[in-house]
Amino acid sequence: MKTTLRILSFFLILSAFPTCHLERIDSLNEDCPNPPEADFTLSTTEISLGESVTITNQSDPDAATYAWDFGNTETSDDFNASITVTYNSAGTHEIVLVVTDADGCSATARETITVTNEVTFSMVVPGLGAQNITPLAVSERSADKQIHCIYKQGTALKSVLINPLMPLAAGELKTYTPDMTPLKAFPASGGFVVCGSKSTTAPDEFGKVAFVTDNQGLSVESLSFQYENGGSFSITNGALVSNSEIVSTGVCQEPTAGIGFARHLLNNGALVTKRMIKQGGTTVGNYTGISIVEKTGGNFFIAADSRESGQKARLVQVDINGDYVNSLFSLAPINYVGKIIRLNGDNYAVIGRDEAQNVHVLSVNTNGQITGQRNLGLIASGSVVDLIAVDGGQQVVVCGTKSNKLYLAKFAISSAAFTWETTHNNPAVPANAVSGYAVFIASDGGYLALGQYNNAGQKELFLAKPMRSAKRTRVC
């Protein structure tokens, strides 16, 4: 009770002398008539994970002490006219500087910086050498967000894991010996499916598939397989079905060339079926299966190139056993397919190039009919282009090459209107060519783009990760 009365008496006294508190502050200020100046500027107020900000100290250089708190658990007591600080956690961070002079007078300056949950960079992957590298595919390991790149160096299949927060640090390298010539690879749940062939005595060739796990293991390597009559089968692409089977396509000879189809079990690589696609016992055209995608209901679309010069690519539908379902649909103006993907429901997209090397994206419905197309204005050497569906299949992101730079673009399927376009090259030697090979959507909503850097004839691995909007990229 006495304590309560004392507190009440104190507030009554303050009420009777309302200027008492202000006078006390003024009295304190009188002790520091010339306080030190505390001030600093930031090179930017918004960065991505792993990026740095440069802080320029504009405070009184003759002060006694400088106490920095960078808001990332780091502190400093140096003047440092220019300070570089890195942030590895997303969110808003407050940078505080307290400057104190010899008389004990102090001043404080504060600024905030926002760190977005994205990592961005554009670089040649270090430590791999420049010996004839061909990029195959890129993904992000779900467990720790490491970037997993798979590529061919000479005839060897290799992969590298890269820490996105330290992209220039040496990555974890692995070389595989699946006894095959890798032709294509694509991300799948838990790793990559690799498709290719093994050459034997000409003209025989064995189809091969392998599965490279996220921890860089080779968990599945199929037995070599060919047709019973000795005809060859070279696998060019595949699809992972229900995380249990690899369904692949390619070209086979029996003895004439035709579209090949094969199924393997994912857990042990056992061959379920292999065949040439025929209609009523007759080969379905002189075509090579290039890319395959699962349709709703369990059937498949195979996008195939003609083996005859000047002919347009075609689309054929087969069932789970590789039996012919529908006639060949023209993919004009595309002559050479890059990839077919499923957008949503029973809607699909195909990317490829015509004979003039112009890159096109076609939208296709469940009946194989083209419902829209877009000439991207790219020039593709071969069929080195990739695309993925985003935003529920309403848009796609494409990867290719434009003006000797790795090119990424996002556009709406319905209107063909670009959301953004961006190009990337080696910042150290921007005149050298970089070709885009593969793209993958990362967990933070950004994109991983894999390419090939031409270093005076030597081929190196190139990796870019722009922001979601593709407006800005940190160079390494």
CA–CA separation, 269 and 263 (whole Å): 9
Q: Tokens 């991207």 sit at which residue?
A: 376
Rg (CA), the chain: 30
119, 50 contact by CB (below 8 A): yes
Global confidence as pTM: 0.73
Neighbour-count burial of 246, counting CB atoms closer than 10 A to its CB (0-12 exposed, 13-18 middle, 19+ buried): buried
Q: Tokens 């050479």 sit at which residue?
A: 336
Compute the CA torsion angle 21, 26, 27, 30 (nearest 10 deg): 170
465, 119 contact by CB (below 8 A): yes
Q: Sheet holding 458-465: strands in order across?
A: 121-124, 458-465, 447-455, 434-441
Exposure string of 376-391, with b = 16+ CB inside 10 Å and e = fewer, is bebebeebbbbbbbbe
Taking residue 250's Cβ as centre, other Cβ atoms within 10 Å add up to 28
Partnered with residue 275 across adjacent β-strands are 261
Q: How far is CA 207 from CA 86, 146, 178, 436, in A?
A: 49, 31, 12, 27
> Cα–Cα–Cα angle for 281, 282, 285, nearest 5°?
150
Structure tokens at 48: 């991505």
Half-sphere exposure at residue 246, Cβ-oriented, CA atoms within 13 angstroms = 33
Neighbour-count burial of 272, counting CB atoms closer than 10 A to its CB (0-12 exposed, 13-18 middle, 19+ buried): middle
Q: How far apart are the first and last CA of the chain?
A: 69
CA–CA separation, 54 and 37 (whole Å): 20
CA–CA separation, 135 and 382 (whole Å): 14
CATH number, domain 34-116: 2.60.40.10
CA–CA separation, 17 and 331 (whole Å): 89
pLDDT of residue 37: 93
Name the phi and psi angles at 344, rounded to 5. Answer: -165, 155
Neighbour-count burial of 366, counting CB atoms closer than 10 A to its CB (0-12 exposed, 13-18 middle, 19+ buried): middle
pLDDT of residue 468: 62
CATH number, domain 180-340: 2.120.10.10
Q: Tokens 């103006």 sit at which residue?
A: 333
* Cis amide bond preceding 333, omega within 30: yes
Domain ranges, ordered by start, for the chain: 1-31, 34-116, 119-177+384-476, 180-340
CA–CA separation, 346 and 324 (whole Å): 19
Q: Tokens 């890269």 sit at which residue?
A: 162
Structure tokens at 374: 């877009």
165, 474 contact by CB (below 8 A): no
pLDDT of residue 304: 92
Per-residue pLDDT of the chain (476 residues; tens, 9 = 90+): 434 433 334 333 334 333 333 232 333 456 788 889 999 999 888 887 777 899 999 998 889 999 999 999 999 998 888 889 988 887 899 999 999 999 899 999 999 998 876 667 888 888 887 678 999 999 999 888 899 999 998 888 999 999 887 877 777 889 988 777 888 898 988 889 888 877 655 545 577 788 888 888 887 665 544 444 445 666 777 777 777 888 888 887 766 778 888 888 877 777 788 888 887 777 777 888 899 999 888 899 999 999 888 899 999 999 988 889 987 899 999 999 999 999 998 999 999 988 887 888 889 888 888 998 888 877 665 557 899 999 999 999 999 888 888 999 898 888 778 888 888 888 777 778 899 999 999 887 889 999 999 988 889 999 998 866 554 444 44
Tell me the residue type at 154: G
Q: Sheet holding 336-344: strands in order across?
A: 336-344, 347-353, 358-364, 370-379
* Alpha carbon 330 to its chain's center: 31
